[in-house]
Amino acid sequence: MEEINQPIPLYDGPIGLEFRASSISCNGSVNASWLPSPRIAVEMETPDDFEPPFEGCQLHLTDIAERVSALIFESARVMRARGEGITTTRGIVDELVVGDAAALGHVVFHVPNLVEFDGSSLETVSEGRHRLWRGRLVMRSPVWTVIVDGRPDLHDFVRSLRGAGGYLLTHTGRLERTDGASFVPAQARVVLKAIGWLLSFARGIRVAPILPIGFGLGGEPVWQEWRNWSLDPWSALRSWFPVREPSVLGDLFPEVVTRMSDPEWEHVLTTALSWYLQANTARAAEPAVASVQSALELLSWAVLVQDGSVLSEEGFGKLSAHDNLRLLLAHSGVPRNTPSLLKALHTRATADGLDGPNALTAIRNRIVHPPRRGQSYALQQPQEVIDALHLGLWYTELVLLRCLQFAGPYVNRVGAGRFSDKPEPVPWS
């Protein structure tokens, strides 16, 4: 399908390229490009004798009267029909913000690579034909309302994405204040970051609300932002999110906004999510186990010392990593056993008399630390490492859900959810 991985036009027209106290005028375009990685890309038709400066460039987008920094990385002559040629210069555009002081009534954004979920009903009418689908998610807090709509043809595109991979704008969103009052872009950014955190946690890969456009109370566009977002290509990876009950994200949204508005918790959640996503998307189990253990150690500190005052800093430092993890799980209401469906790890842990925290930490230590004298790196079997990864991901998902005061259904990746997307209650509900 032609929309998959296709650049999104942002600007097309005259561009002034300023560099080394010099400047040239040319025609060009700015696009949100997906490949080889997501970026805001510029392409210009430049003179044949143009020597790219690479760094220190400023682009003047004449038609919208905006200037933006750019990194020029390529200039090459491209042959066209009838033997004619043109020199094309390409680069990456830095962040561009238009109208940062504007008062906003609502913000529209797009989300790439979000999964198809069974939300509330939507309807379109085209050429007299009605189309109904269940693709709307509504999330509300006391201050903010967010609506996320899946595209009507998403099911067909998902089948193509599974084969081709890459990127596609799968959903559009709208952010506004619940009371209908105006707000400023700085407030919008905080909520958009919280939305990106929540959707990434649900999706299990890096997604984000991108290319936001802010509209004034009269409906006119007054603010937009271009940024080089960190996004993952399409993947069929699963997470805790029950796609047939997307309203759980609405349950989480108010607490996510509250936590992400607190500088200390914003750092904890952002860093822990980064480790979690790195582990969930890793192609090798060994580094992924180390990543997920890092997320759990950070959450142990945040929950037991920073937020809960369960341990002092000194007491936390005196305990081993597996004891701190065991205490974190007990405090969060998360089971500490090794699930029987993780057969290889369960067998080894049972034989060695280890619970889940001890088994996970022992495997992580064998991966990242040199063996003791007389030991071998190969004491654990490959499936044991894979099982340890799933155990660590399960622990991380549950601890984060408990931190966000969640008490709804989730998909248990080490239980029935290992074979289906059927949800079950969280252990503490």
Using the structure block, give the residue that is written with the tokens 């940024």.
Answer: 227
Q: Which domains does the chain have, with CATH numbers?
A: 8-94 (2.40.10.220), 106-259 (no CATH), 273-425 (no CATH)
Mean pLDDT estimate for the chain: 90
> Average pLDDT of 105-112?
97
Q: Amino acid identity, residue 256? A: V
Centroid of chain to Cα 61: 30
Sequential DSSP letters for 295-330: HHHHHHHIIIIIIS-SS-HHHHHHS-HHHHHHHHHH
Predicted model pTM = 0.92
- pLDDT band with cut points at 50, 70 and 90 for residue 1: very low
Rg of the chain on CA atoms, in Å: 25
Share of the chain above pLDDT 90, in %: 70
Look at residue 82 and tell me whether its pLDDT is greater than 60: no
40 to 30, 72, 87: CA distances (angstroms): 7, 12, 20
CB 396 within 8 A of CB 272: yes
pLDDT recorded at residue 308 = 72
- Give the residue, 192 or 77, on which the prediction is more confident: 192
Residue 86 has pLDDT above 80, yes or no: no
Backbone angles phi, psi at 231, to 5 degrees: -135, 150
Which pLDDT score, from 0 to 100, does residue 376 have? 47
**Which of 44-53, 120-129, 250-259 reaches the highest mean pLDDT?**
250-259
Can you tell me the distance from the alpha carbon of 387 to that of 394, in angstroms, rounded to the nearest whole number? 11
pLDDT value at residue 372: 65
**What residue has token string 């056993």?**
337
Per residue in 325-368, pLDDT tens?
Answer: 999 999 999 999 999 999 999 999 999 899 999 999 999 998 88
Asked if residue 254 has a cis previous peptide bond (ω within 30° of 0), the answer is no
* Pairing status of strand 409-410 against strand 424-425: antiparallel
Kindly tell me if the per-residue pLDDT of 138 is higher than 80: yes
342, 363 Cβ separation under 8 angstroms:
no
The SS3 of residue 103 is: coil
H/E segment holding residue 268: helix 263-280
> Tell me: the pLDDT tens digits for 152-166?
989 888 888 888 789
Range 365-393 average pLDDT: 78
| Banded model confidence at residue 377, pLDDT cuts 50, 70, 90 | very low
Q: What is residue 375's predicted lDDT score, i.e. its pLDDT?
A: 53
Residue 400's identity, in one-letter code, is L
Mean pLDDT of 5-15: 94
Strands laid side by side in the 106-112 sheet? 96-98, 221-226, 210-215, 106-112, 169-177, 144-150, 129-140, 120-126
Rounded to the nearest 10 degrees, how much is the dihedral formed by the CA atoms of 48, 86, 38, 191?
Answer: 80
Main-chain dihedrals φ then ψ at residue 304, nearest 5 degrees: -85, -30
Dihedral sign from CA coordinates of 342, 345, 350, 354:
negative
Query: How far is it, in rounded angstroms, from Cα 410 to Cα 302?
Result: 23
Report residue 370's pLDDT band, with 50, 70 and 90 as the boundaries: low
Mind listing the pLDDT tens digit for each residue in 259-295?
A: 999 999 999 999 999 999 999 999 999 999 999 999 9
